[in-house]
Structure 1
């Protein structure tokens, strides 16, 4: 099944994941101008009581910036952008944010932590598509039954709320019955990983941690440097901080006075997005990241991160096509 036409403008088969606090209009605009889908969580746009609605201002900024880019670069249009909606019952802003996003005709809606038909209907009402993130085949089937257009398979190694299953197993099980848009999340920080995602059956890669250290990212310098200096062994999996299993930087846990090797667990009943946060204030500097951070070695503009991944992707394809011997012609050819 072909991808929806709105993906035709992509320079790379990649969607940038929405990052709590980190993703803001500046990062989204840079990602879209460079040819990948940029995204942000609606809950990142927060205003004090009585102030103008920040989500309105962000959507206006992004929409107008991409329209100007397209007018100035008709031969190199920007990729579409996406907004992430946390569909958890504690998100008291959900209904308001759905109305705003529908009014601004957001093209791609990413839904997390629950599958609800009314959210998919809101996306469809303005001509958008809904992609739901899932960690296993059961949740994938529920999401499609409730009207999602596509799926984001969040496999082992992904940052933030991560799944535990191998990408090989997860993609295979979903592709056995679903031929719609399918994205893969889990250490997609290099061009080789992006090509591998397609090889196992995904249409697009879903990359988050690769952009935490981008210059446009709204992350503390200490956070960015921890990403630049880290690798897969620096990632700890825990449910303590949000009630759902997630991946976090070991050093940030230690800095908070906790033992990263002896963390207690928590269950989903402790999740609360009523104040627009993914974690309680006490843990605001415990930072999420995925196992692909070893590929991030410097703080660079998002455009340079994307250019690096694009060059690696092209080189990986070329290497496979050049394979000789008994396996010649059996590499990636699409």
Structure 2
């Protein structure tokens, strides 16, 4: 059974946190539209000597969602989530945990490692902790360390995706875990959301389609490339960060490289320290999942959620009629 905080969404979708792309504008729009909006804590990057931008972002998100709820008591906003990168190079982790704890963030998403103290902080402020995994081994470790739910990141997902089929990954996790399970991997339509549930997941984890929204913090060329590309335009490689992920081939070509002849020995190591925001891999090489063939125009986030909800309802009805 899903916890109450995940049970009353307009459509069973959690918007995935995307590096650089996800910020307050997008999160607020997603939540107002009825799905969980999220962003990586590391996206809130202030200059040296300035107060923590994460603090300001959380204040703005909470205040705007509170105003929406007061004005729309019959149509409240969905909750939001903050993604913590639990990696040894993230020197900000302890500070960001304290800020999220103080703001009583309702949903914590952890990536690239599982730490009991992060889960404990989430629980202490009344939140839940979801951890993303690419295989059953990592799933078991995350649960042992106190995660409340899992995000199965399958083949075709944007960012640091796993290599396993969603059928295999969900099937194996459901063999030992009956708690909250989200599925990530090329989900860009309401029909795909329903398919994720048919496989055994509770919710879909949707990222790349939201790059092509008005509120996304992405340059115009990135949004255009999402609209114009399809699954064949994605390459899966560890070259840019040291961990295998999915990237847009046209952006790799624009950076002067051949996406079909990448040399993994020249890859950069994973680094979420101060220099991460300037890394060539993230500023010029654009990530994307394989589901973007369903994205045909740049729209407001609310319009994308409306499409997903409509397609989801139509797909359910079509199956019932069969």
Same fold (TM over 0.5): yes
* 1:294 partnered with 2:293: yes
Take 1:273 and 1:75, find their aligned partners in 2: how far apart are those partners? 41
Which position in structure 2 is the counterpart of 1:106? 105
Per the TM alignment, residue 244 of structure 1 is displaced from its structure 2 partner at its CA by: 0.3
Which position in structure 2 is the counterpart of 1:166? 165
Which position in structure 1 is the counterpart of 2:238? 239
Q: Report SS of the residue matched to 1:284.
A: helix
Q: Contact 1:242 / 1:278 at 8 angstroms: preserved in 2?
A: no
Which position in structure 2 is the counterpart of 1:87? 86
Unaligned 5+ runs, structure 2: none
Per the TM alignment, residue 285 of structure 1 is displaced from its structure 2 partner at its CA by: 1.1
Per the TM alignment, residue 63 of structure 1 is displaced from its structure 2 partner at its CA by: 0.3
Take 1:267 and 1:165, find their aligned partners in 2: how far apart are those partners? 25
Q: Structure 1, residues 163-200: CA drift from partner, whole Å, max 9, x if none?
A: 11000000000000100100000011100100000000
Q: Judging changes above 3 Å, is the alpha-carbon distance between structure 1 residues 288 and 277 closer, same or farther for their aligned structure 2 residues?
A: same
* 1:200 partnered with 2:199: yes
Q: Contact 1:243 / 1:266 at 8 angstroms: preserved in 2?
A: no
Take 1:269 and 1:227, find their aligned partners in 2: how far apart are those partners? 24
* 1:73 partnered with 2:72: yes
Take 1:269 and 1:247, find their aligned partners in 2: how far apart are those partners? 15
Q: Judging changes above 3 Å, is the alpha-carbon distance between structure 1 residues 174 and 278 closer, same or farther for their aligned structure 2 residues?
A: farther
Q: Report SS of the residue matched to 1:205.
A: strand
Take 2:5 and 2:281, find their aligned partners in 1: how far apart are those partners? 41
Take 1:282 and 1:35, find their aligned partners in 2: how far apart are those partners? 33
Take 2:242 and 2:316, find their aligned partners in 1: how far apart are those partners? 40
Q: Contact 2:84 / 2:93 at 8 angstroms: preserved in 1?
A: yes
Which position in structure 2 is the counterpart of 1:314? 313
Take 1:9 and 1:217, find their aligned partners in 2: how far apart are those partners? 25
Q: Report SS of the residue matched to 1:151.
A: strand
Q: Structure 1, residues 266-312: CA drift from partner, whole Å, max 9, x if none?
A: 59991110126378236521000000001110000000000011111
Which position in structure 2 is the counterpart of 1:26? 25
Which position in structure 1 is the counterpart of 2:34? 35
Q: Contact 2:109 / 2:129 at 8 angstroms: preserved in 1?
A: yes
Take 1:52 and 1:288, find their aligned partners in 2: how far apart are those partners? 30
Q: Judging changes above 3 Å, is the alpha-carbon distance between structure 1 residues 68 and 283 closer, same or farther for their aligned structure 2 residues?
A: closer
Per the TM alignment, residue 9 of structure 1 is displaced from its structure 2 partner at its CA by: 3.1
Structure-2-length-normalised TM-score: 0.98
Take 1:211 and 1:311, find their aligned partners in 2: how far apart are those partners? 17
Take 2:296 and 2:203, find their aligned partners in 1: how far apart are those partners? 24
Take 1:101 and 1:91, find their aligned partners in 2: how far apart are those partners? 16
Q: Which runs of 4+ in 1 moved over 4 A?
A: 266-269
* 1:1-334 equivalences in 2 (<5 Å): 2-265=1-264, 270-275=269-274, 277=276, 280-281=279-280, 284-323=283-322
Q: Structure 1, residues 38-79: CA drift from partner, whole Å, max 9, x if none?
A: 000000001001112100000000000111111111111110
Take 1:275 and 1:195, find their aligned partners in 2: how far apart are those partners? 40
Take 2:236 and 2:75, find their aligned partners in 1: how far apart are those partners? 40
Take 2:292 and 2:163, find their aligned partners in 1: how far apart are those partners? 18
Q: Contact 1:241 / 1:279 at 8 angstroms: preserved in 2?
A: no
